[in-house]
Structure 1
Amino acid sequence: MRKIVFSLTGSILILLIIIAVTGYCKYKPKPSVLEVFVNNQSALVEAGTYSLEKWGREAADDTYSDPVTLVRNDDPIVVGPSEEIMLEFENSPQTVKYYLWDVKTGKLAYKGLKGYPLKLEDSNVESGDYAMEIRAKWENGYVLYNTRIIVYNDAK
């Protein structure tokens, strides 16, 4: 009877080890989900380029495209320069920087904007249609998110 219990316990233990090793080998870190809020408007923003490492496993992806091309056909988030752009990450990053690319020209319009939440009037952002690139960095890697925003200024 003892041999049977010992053999059964050993078999179950070996099976659990095999399942754990198989799960570990298939594991890939995934980018944090990002939701952008402006007033009562919100939008989920998908990760583009990223490089992450967790538990000794690595995952990376490169969109091979500029931010304007990625968001040109997306529905824009409309924001006034005095409104705050709030970001809600699944896991809070250590640093966040923003870059605004002019949708018409495809050129970088505003580089390295900072703020958490972001207030565009602090950087004197003019009215226009922009691709917003959000660069979030964690201890285990980075993710670039892209969304389209339209900045309007009623005063002009």
Structure 2
Amino acid sequence: MKKLVAAFALALFPLLVPAQERALRAGTLSVEFPQEWNFRASAQRAEGHGPEGELVLVNFRVLHPGAPAEVVAQHWTVLRNFARDEMPGLAAGKDTQVIRAVTESPLQDARVEFSSVSKRLREGRDAYFLQYLLGSRRTIAYFTVEGFGDALQAAARFEKILATQRWQE
């Protein structure tokens, strides 16, 4: 009987304590988004919508645990080549002003983040396009964020969310 009561209490616990955040998992990476965000996810892609109309697309790839050293080296090459060769062109799309060019920021445990911030006029309103490429030994996660409003303010909001990142490798 005690086991049944304990199981029932554990099942009800999420209903009794309102969740403030929801985790988005992208391979070995998880990021805590505020509860107002809604996501649909598949095997290597997720799409999210934020409370201010933001659209977040996440594409990710994950290496199997114990991948050979040459596969891991290729993984890092792909990540860095994408950041160097593709992200700048995406940031500078048609009628777009790059506010922050693609920058690299090292993270703990040999992880890395590349990011850019762009703005443009869309439908007669200020709009933004943010890119974040997060990489670790096993995972590459590419986030794009689009919405209306000030690009730097949007970047500050989204970077607070990305600061919740946790890696399980």
State TM-score, norm by structure 2: 0.29
Ranked by relative contact order (alpha carbons within 8 Å, sequence separation 6 or more), the top structure is 1
| Higher-helix-fraction structure | 2
Q: Report the structure number with the largest CA radius of gyration.
A: 1
